[in-house]
Amino acid sequence: MATLAGCSSSPTAEKTVSRVSDPEATPQTVELHRFLQSCCGRVTMFGHQDAALYGHDGWKYVDGRSDVKDVCGSHPAVFGWELGEIELGKDQSLDAVHFSKIREGIIAADKMGGINTISWHSTNPVTGKSAWDKAPGSIHKILYEEEFTRKYFACLDHIATFLLSLKDEQGEFVPVMFRPFHEHTGSWFWWGSDFCTPDEYKELWHRTVDYLRGKRGIHHVLYAYSPDRVSTPETYFERYPGDDYVDVIGLDCYHRGGEQTASEYMATAGRILDFMSVESARCNKPFVFSETGLNTLNMKKWFTEVLYPVVAKTHPAYVLVWRNPFDNAENFYGPFPGHESCADFISFKDKQDIVLLDELNGIRK
Ligand code: BMA
């Protein structure tokens, strides 16, 4: 079993300067940030999107269950969650998950010592269509046309109400990462690079953070910036909203294909994580591999032979693979019992520098 004790020092022992963008961040939020930073360069936590909500064989809402735990005996260390369509005032997400279950899951994950990260595939407030609605100029309209500014803030009110409902048994806010407007260097979402200028993207981010923080008084959130694959650091940072608005720098980069594209994926992700690690150390902001995966895991040793060498080179604080939908067996990124990658996943987990919840527990709290 991998243990943090195997490292030169445990993450909590390391004194790391934390640079949280919110001067009023709660102590738990500052601590989460410091902990993430202390992992960078030394260990990588493993995360799975929607881990605790449902799994590949169709199970849904089973207390204490996750596909990862079914395979290796431990939950992932990092739990991903998705709030898309909360902005419409619905009680279920675009992935047919009740927000009440997400709230319960976040609070339960925090209680177990896990780390929570939230994504938001928001509908387009201008057109009312999905996150994938390629409507040029939507951000411009949100920023400069009152009708849409109002609509956007109404969306944010739903996000704010949800965030403000995240309290533990002591009544303290549960610190979370929030990762809006991700993969913006591509152009598949309405906030993509073909549909707005760099300044418009940054301004949308600023207004979002200012609203949640300033107007709604939310101080238990770390904001994560997560471009998709890019060729240069300049492109990565072109739309960076600034140190006062970002706490964590991320990367979304998938392995599309199988064996034939493995070395290309490893080289690309490795190169981007390289410059992120340098920047992370310079600015005291943790870097994370916020989304990745090989759809259907069609390489038996993907975890140890492809993913591990990528993360072991720089050690982002965590790597998160995407979801195992309960309603689509053709589409999954995490292991589940019976899949041919299980043995390899267990070897991956057993690496000294890979951390799941069982190794995190008792170290963070
Ligand atoms: C995408 C896909 C979609 C899903 C969305 C939000 O990448 O998995 O099916 O709706 O994430 O979770």
From ligand 1's centre to the CA of 118, what distance in Å?
13
* Residue identifier of the C-alpha nearest atom 11 of ligand 1: 121
pLDDT band at 191 (very low <50, low <70, confident <90, very high): very high
From ligand 1's centre to the CA of 152, what distance in Å?
21
d(CA 117, CA 145): 31
295 CB less than 6 Å from ligand 1?
no
Mutation pick for ligand 1 pocket among 290, 323, 330 (CB with most ligand atoms within 8 Å)? 323
> In this predicted model, what pLDDT tens digit does every residue of 110-157 receive, in sequence order?
999 999 999 999 999 999 999 999 999 999 999 999 999 999 999 999
55 CB less than 6 Å from ligand 1?
no
C-alpha pair distances (Å), 80 with each of 5, 24, 114, 283: 26, 25, 11, 25
Residue 317 has pLDDT above 90, yes or no: yes
pLDDT band at 16 (very low <50, low <70, confident <90, very high): low
**Burial (CB count <10 Å: 0-12, 13-18, 19+), residue 106:** buried
Query: Hey, how many other C-beta atoms are within 10 angstroms of the C-beta on 362?
Result: 9
| pLDDT > 90 in the chain, percent | 93
d(CA 265, CA 255): 6
* Residue identifier of the C-alpha nearest atom 4 of ligand 1: 95
Question: Stretch 33-45: mean pLDDT, rounded?
Answer: 96
Query: Hey, how many other C-beta atoms are within 10 angstroms of the C-beta on 274?
Result: 13
Place of tokens 């936590």: 45
d(CA 99, CA 87): 11
92 CB less than 6 Å from ligand 1?
no
Mutation pick for ligand 1 pocket among 82, 86, 95, 97 (CB with most ligand atoms within 8 Å)? 95
Question: Which of ligand 1's atoms lies nearest the C-alpha of 323?
Answer: 8
Residue 362 has pLDDT above 90, yes or no: no
Query: Hey, how many other C-beta atoms are within 10 angstroms of the C-beta on 291?
Result: 25
Query: Hey, how many other C-beta atoms are within 10 angstroms of the C-beta on 230?
Result: 20
- Residue 348: per-residue pLDDT: 98
Residue 5 has pLDDT above 50, yes or no: no
Place of tokens 């309290």: 167
